[in-house]
């Protein structure tokens, strides 16, 4: 079988179409609107095995820099791992993993990925090891009615305002992704169009899920607020508990529990990422590619 490995081809209409077709069959996803809306930037690079002009297998590299205790760390996330059914069991993902390792060796402080249960024995062959993550929750006693306004993320004006808020925020988690707005916009322009809330007086955006009295805060972008509890209070007295999709700077009052997601295991590579388990951190929920 003759093949070539291609990367950085998002501007190639034919290969991008083939990539989207395979992503659709594998995950039920299309990246086309993300591309056409201008959010697919240099941070997301598919590495693909090309056979007869089509994508036969893929592993994508997503640059995800994080701030930890005031210092920016350079990390990579691997994702969108998929193989066309005709070409499975031929070692194509192994070839891609070897090429990525060659290209990025000593150029990142760590690499992480999320694997389903069927491939838990595969990634340790490339130096990855399982890592626990931790989720933070707290009971709250808010007062008054909600002061948050839902913002439907269905067009360029809403997207632009959120992007501006992301660039001007003073809020920061302890282990927070930076300089990758495209990944956050992937979520809010697709699956989370109705999960964005805004409070004008504090210039605060919150990306959140609400179920019963539980508020799950994926992220906060605020021009004034620095604490998650302040943002949670804006949702009013109906909220009895908050759960964070990120690690708070101040953990007093929060219960930390090991986070387990069905059919999803975190793997890390690199000493810098050992701190996730050791420091009871969580890779932010909106930093999953």
Alpha carbons 242 and 237: distance in angstroms, whole number = 12
Residue 134 in tokens: 């931790």
Q: What pTM was estimated for this model as a whole?
A: 0.93
Mark residue 106 as left, alpha or beta (left: phi above 0; alpha: psi -120 to 50; beta: remaining): left
Per DSSP, helices labelled H in 197-267 are: 228-233
**Cα–Cα dist 182/64, whole Å:** 11
pLDDT in tens, the chain (289 residues): 899 999 999 999 999 999 999 999 999 999 999 999 999 999 999 999 999 999 999 999 999 999 987 889 999 999 999 999 999 999 999 999 999 999 998 899 999 999 998 899 999 999 999 999 999 999 999 999 999 999 999 999 999 999 999 999 999 999 999 989 999 999 999 999 999 999 999 999 999 999 999 999 999 999 999 999 999 999 999 999 999 999 999 999 999 999 988 989 999 999 889 999 999 999 999 998 7
- Amino acid 192: pLDDT: 97
Rounded-to-integer distance, Cα 243 and Cα 234, Å? 15
The predicted pLDDT at position 277 comes to 95
Cα separation, 53 vs 56, whole angstroms: 9
User: Nearest CA to 284 among 207, 209, 176?
Assistant: 176
Query: Rounded to an integer, what distance in angstroms lies between the CA atom of residue 39 and that of residue 184?
Result: 9
pLDDT at site 55: 98
Give the pLDDT score at 1.
Answer: 82
Task: Decide: residue 244, CB within 10 A, 0-12 exposed, 13-18 middle, 19+ buried.
Answer: buried
**Rounded Cα–Cα distance for residues 83 and 48 (Å):** 9
Look up residue 16 and give its two tokens.
């991008």
* β-strand partners of 68: 71, 175
pLDDT value, residue 76: 96
Query: Tokens 């059919």 belong to which residue?
Result: 263
Q: How far apart are CA 153 and CA 188, in angstroms?
A: 6
* pLDDT attached to residue 254: 97
Phi, psi of 217 (to 5 degrees): -95, 110
Exposed e or buried b for every residue in 47-81, given b needs 16+ CB within 10 A?
Answer: bbbbbeebbbbbbbbbbbbbbbeeeebebbbbbbb
- What are the φ/ψ torsions at residue 154 (nearest 5 degrees)? -115, 15
Q: Please give the Cα distance from 133 to 279 (Å, whole number).
A: 9
Which H or E run contains 15? helix 13-27
């Amino acid at each position: 079988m003759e093949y070539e490995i291609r990367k950085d081809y998002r501007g190639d209409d034919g290969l991008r179409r083939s990539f989207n077709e395979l992503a659709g069959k594998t995950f039920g996803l299309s990246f086309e609107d993300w591309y056409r809306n201008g959010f697919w930037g240099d941070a997301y690079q598919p590495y693909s095995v090309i056979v007869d002009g089509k994508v036969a297998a893929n592993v994508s590299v997503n640059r995800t820099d994080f701030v930890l205790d005031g210092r920016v760390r350079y990390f990579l996330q691997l994702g969108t791992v998929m193989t066309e059914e005709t070409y499975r069991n031929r070692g194509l993902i192994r070839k891609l993993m070897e090429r990525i390792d060659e290209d990025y060796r000593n150029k990142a402080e760590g690499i992480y990925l999320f694997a389903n249960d069927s491939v838990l024995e595969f990634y340790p062959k490339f130096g990855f090891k399982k890592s626990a993550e931790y989720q933070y929750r707290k009971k709250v006693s808010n007062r008054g009615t909600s002061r948050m306004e839902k913002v439907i993320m269905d067009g360029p004006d809403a997207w632009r305002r959120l992007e501006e808020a992301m660039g001007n925020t003073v809020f920061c988690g302890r282990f927070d992704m930076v300089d990758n707005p495209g990944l956050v916009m992937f979520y809010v322009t697709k699956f989370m169009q109705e999960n964005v809330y805004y409070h004008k007086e504090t210039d605060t955006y919150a990306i959140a899920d609400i179920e019963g009295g539980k508020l799950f805060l994926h992220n906060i972008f605020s021009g004034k607020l620095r604490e998650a509890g302040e943002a949670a209070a804006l949702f009013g007295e109906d909220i009895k508990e908050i759960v964070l999709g990120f690690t708070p700077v101040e953990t007093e009052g929060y219960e930390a529990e090991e986070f387990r997601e069905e059919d999803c295991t975190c793997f890390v590579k690199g000493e810098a990422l050992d701190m996730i388990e050791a420091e009871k951190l969580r890779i932010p929920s909106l930093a999953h590619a």
